[in-house]
């Protein structure tokens, strides 16, 4: 697994995530890295373009969740939308272990995981290949000197837009006011993306299909969650 940050190439983007491991992973979950992970692992994006159609033949949609944390949202969405292929990326290994447990317990057949930086996956996906992109509570890096580590930067926003199909949607959720403003400014400046909000309620009220995770429940930010939804035109 390419999770050792010291192994990253010098031209890799700045780390947008914190720790990649915390407490010891329980033996049952650790075993899933050997048994289940090989079955659900996304092809290595460093090996070249990812052939999405080969990942789940017959998939009607392809979704990408960036930074799935413990995989609660990913697993619920996968169970609700069995005909959609769910690609989840997360470098935090305890989170990946938890996602593997959800996949096993839910007998989910439509999830593929990348246990590392989503930006490499986004680069390797064909343009116009995604129906939905979900970025939920990304690390806020709220001190000004850390803002450059934020996932949402102009070039990445443009790349995300290119990967969406026309009519595809991108959801960004944060409970940090400043990051919401930062992301909104950058997405609005991204060619091909249109913000779907008509009124305040559209960004203050959770979309119907939103799934609350334990992380969201902690309310670590400085505002109630803000939901930004964009469409690729
Ligand atoms: C604050 S947590 C939120 C987790 C989850 N989305 C939730 O709402 O419960 C943000 C997660 O994004 C992950 N992350 C940050 N940068 C990432 C990147 N470049 N690629 C994939 N995941 C990333 C972090 O490791 C972390 O687990």
Q: Tens digit of pLDDT for each residue in 140-160?
A: 998 889 999 999 999 999 999
Closest atom of ligand 1 to CA, residue 119? 19
- Contacts of residue 177, Cβ cutoff 8 Å, sequence gap at least 6: 221, 222, 223, 226
Cα 209 to middle of ligand 1, angstroms: 20
pLDDT score recorded for residue 18: 85
Other CB atoms within 10 A of residue 1 CB: 15
Give the model's pLDDT for residue 21. 84
C-alpha span between 120 and 187 (Å, rounded): 20
Which residue of 45, 69, 123, 213 sits with most ligand 1 atoms within 8 Å of its CB, as the best mutation to test the pocket? 69
Which range has the worst mean pLDDT, 15-24, 166-175, 189-198?
15-24
**Residue 10 confidence (pLDDT):** 62
Q: 128 — alpha (psi -120 to 50), left (phi > 0) or beta? A: left
CA 103 and chain centroid, separation: 16
Tell me the pairing of strands 130-136 and 111-114: unpaired
Q: Supply φ then ψ for residue 87, to 5 degrees.
A: -100, 125
Closest protein CA for atom 14 of ligand 1: 67
Q: Is 71 close to ligand 1, i.e. is its CB under 6 Å away?
A: no
Residue 5 has pLDDT above 50, yes or no: no
pLDDT for 178 equals 96
Q: Is the CB of 151 under 6 A from ligand 1?
A: yes
Which has the closest alpha carbon to 130: 184, 72, 50? 50
65 lines ligand 1 (CB under 6 A): no
d(CA 216, CA 137): 7
pLDDT digit string (tens) for 41-75?
A: 999 999 999 999 999 999 999 999 999 999 999 99
d(CA 228, CA 183): 9
Ligand 1, atom 12: nearest CA belongs to which residue?
67
Per residue in 176-223, pLDDT (tens digit) is: 999 999 999 999 999 999 999 988 888 999 999 999 999 999 999 999
Is pLDDT at 6 greater than 70 in this prediction? no
Q: Report the C-alpha gap between 94 and 101 in whole angstroms.
A: 11
Dump pLDDT digits (tens) for 97-124: 999 999 999 999 999 999 999 999 999 9
From first CA to last CA, the distance across the chain in angstroms is: 36
Query: pTM for this one?
Result: 0.94
Computed over every residue of the chain, the mean pLDDT equals: 94
| Residue 7: pLDDT over 60 | no
Measured CA to CA, the distance from residue 142 to residue 139 in angstroms comes to 8
Tell me the mean pLDDT in the region 26-54. 95
Candidates 74, 86, 81; CA nearest to 111 is 86
On whether the CB atoms of residues 122 and 159 are closer than 8 A, the answer is yes
Q: Is 95 in the pocket of ligand 1 (CB under 6 A)?
A: yes
Distance of CA 149 to the CA centre of its chain: 16
- The pLDDT-based confidence of 13 (bands split at 50, 70, 90) is confident
CA of 150 to the centre of ligand 1 (A): 11
| CA 76 – CA 157 distance, rounded (Å) | 26
């Amino acid at each position: 697994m390419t999770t050792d940050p010291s192994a990253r190439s010098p031209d890799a983007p700045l780390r947008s995530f914190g720790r990649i491991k915390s407490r010891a992973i329980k033996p049952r979950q650790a075993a899933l890295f050997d048994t289940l992970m090989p079955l659900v692992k996304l092809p290595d994006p460093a090996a070249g373009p990812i052939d999405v159609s080969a990942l789940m033949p017959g998939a009607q949609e392809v979704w990408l969740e960036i930074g799935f944390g413990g995989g609660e949202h990913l697993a619920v969405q996968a169970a609700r939308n069995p005909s959609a292929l769910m690609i989840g990326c997360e470098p935090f290994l305890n989170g990946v272990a938890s996602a593997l447990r959800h996949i096993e317990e839910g007998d989910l057949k439509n999830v593929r995981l990348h246990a590392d930086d989503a930006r490499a996956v986004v680069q390797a996906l064909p343009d116009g290949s995604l129906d939905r992109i979900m970025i939920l509570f990304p690390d806020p890096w709220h001190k000004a000197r850390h803002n450059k580590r934020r996932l949402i930067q102009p070039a990445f926003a443009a790349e995300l837009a290119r990967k969406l199909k026309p009519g595809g949607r991108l959801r960004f959720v944060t409970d940090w006011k400043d990051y919401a403003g930062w992301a909104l400014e950058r997405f609005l400046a991204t060619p091909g993306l249109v913000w779907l909000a008509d009124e305040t309620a559209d960004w203050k009220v959770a979309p119907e299909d939103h799934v609350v995770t334990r992380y969201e429940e902690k309310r670590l930010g400085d505002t109630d969650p803000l939901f930004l939804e964009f469409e690729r035109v």
